[in-house]
Amino acid sequence: MVEKVKKSESEWREQLTPEQFKVTRKKGTERAFTGPYHDNKEKGVYRCVCCGNELFSSDTKFDSGTGWPSFWAPVGEDSVQYEDDNSLFMRRTEVLCAQCDAHLGHVFDDGPAPTGKRYCMNSVALDFDKKGDS
């Protein structure tokens, strides 16, 4: 089991930008096509902006045309967790960081093979570690 990172609301506010706080701690959503990673094509690893947990690899990233970074799988099923989200008069599955419970985005069943999943994430919920050519 993953050891949870727990902080007070004021500690999170101190650590994060206002937009990062709104998205990750208050379940907000950034506007489509505004985040730094929606069209990122570099190789590397996407981590949680709140705790650094490794979430997604560029190897599973694809262009969904939605304006948010999209992936067909997390790096491991223990890196994320899921909750039902019935807000906005829709039934969706929310994706959270398994380590700190940060809201990352939602997962949908309209992605490419091999999983058929589309993990639609908020760029501001992610940090990117670029992998150099080795």
Task: Write the pLDDT tens digit of every residue in 13-57.
Answer: 999 999 999 999 999 999 999 999 999 999 999 999 999 999 999
Q: Annotated catalytic, 50? A: no
Task: Say what the pLDDT of residue 133 is.
Answer: 47
pTM: 0.92
- As a whole number, mean pLDDT of residues 97-113 equals 96
CATH number for the domain harbouring residue 19:
2.170.150.20
Predicted confidence at residue 1, as pLDDT, reads 57
Catalytic residue among 50, 97, 100, 120: 120
For residue 47, what is the enclosing H or E element?
strand 44-48
User: How many CB atoms within 10 Å of residue 109?
Assistant: 9
Q: What secondary structure letter does DSSP report for 93?
A: E
Tell me the C-alpha distance between 78 and 62, whole Å. Answer: 21
Q: Is the pLDDT of residue 134 over 50?
A: no
Range of the domain at 28: 9-33+43-130
Q: Is residue 1 part of a domain?
A: no
Q: Is there a domain that residue 4 lies in?
A: no
* Number of domains the chain contains: 1
90/11: higher pLDDT: 11
In the block, residue with structure tokens 């099923």: 77
Angle ∠(46,105,10) on CA atoms, nearest 5: 85
On whether residue 38 sits in a domain, the answer given is no
Query: Does a structural domain hold residue 23?
Result: yes
Is 20 part of a structural domain of the chain? yes
